[in-house]
Amino acid sequence: MNGLVTAVARSASHEFSKTPVPRIRLLAGQGVEDDAHRGATVQHLSRIARDPTQPNLRQVHLIHAELHDELAARGFDVGPSDMGENITTRGIDLLALPTGTRLSIGDAVIEITGLRNPCIQLDRFRPGLMAAVLDRDTEGNLVRKAGVMAIVIESGPVSPGDIIHVALPTGPHRALMPV
């Protein structure tokens, strides 16, 4: 199972959307170089307020471009980096990957830690967007579609066009939960 990087972004400040750039550099144990969410401990402002010593399981945010396609079909003008993602992918069902899945992108390796938990900032960006990235499965369980979070295992550059190689963890697999 392989995919493709379609866009990369970063922001040195705690803004909702990030700035698309030609290349980002992932730093092992830290996240995206020159990004406000880089660090070994939590960097999201609400999490710092609760406990600044928690490990940062949200060093890199990934969203599948297929979500942008789905949202466009529903009338939302949302593109790469608009929802704060660092890496936009195509061809991988990110939401179906188990916790601990490793993605190799060039020399860089990241490990999926969990789901992004959508928040009210989505509605501030585009009214109705939060509801649009939430769904229910056939059993009525909440499905969060706003991407996945990861930590950086091995440093390296990432650019649009890079191939993503997926390595599933050894079983038993654990479904992604919000982090």
Q: Where residue 158 sits, what CATH number does that domain have?
A: 2.40.33.20
Structure confidence by residue, pLDDT tens digits, 61-98: 999 999 999 999 999 999 999 999 999 999 999 999 99
| Neighbour-count burial of 175, counting CB atoms closer than 10 A to its CB (0-12 exposed, 13-18 middle, 19+ buried) | exposed
Alpha-carbon distances of 49 from 35, 41, 118, rounded to whole Å? 19, 12, 18
Here the tokens at position 168 are: 């599933």
Rounded Cα distance between 28 and 107, Å, is 11
Q: What's the structural domain count of the chain? A: 1
In a domain, 36, yes or no: yes
| Residue 76 structural domain | 2-167
* Per-residue tokens: 103: 């993605």
**For residues 62 and 85, what is the distance between their CA atoms, to the nearest angstrom?**
5
Residue 29: predicted pLDDT: 98
Q: Is residue 15 part of a domain?
A: yes
173 within domain boundaries: no
For residue 176, give both structure tokens: 């992604």
Query: Which residues of the chain fall short of a pLDDT of 70?
Result: none
- Classify 138 as helix, strand or coil: coil
The answer to whether residue 99 is domain-embedded is: yes
Q: What is the per-residue pLDDT for 48?
A: 83
* Tokens 């960097």 sit on residue: 43
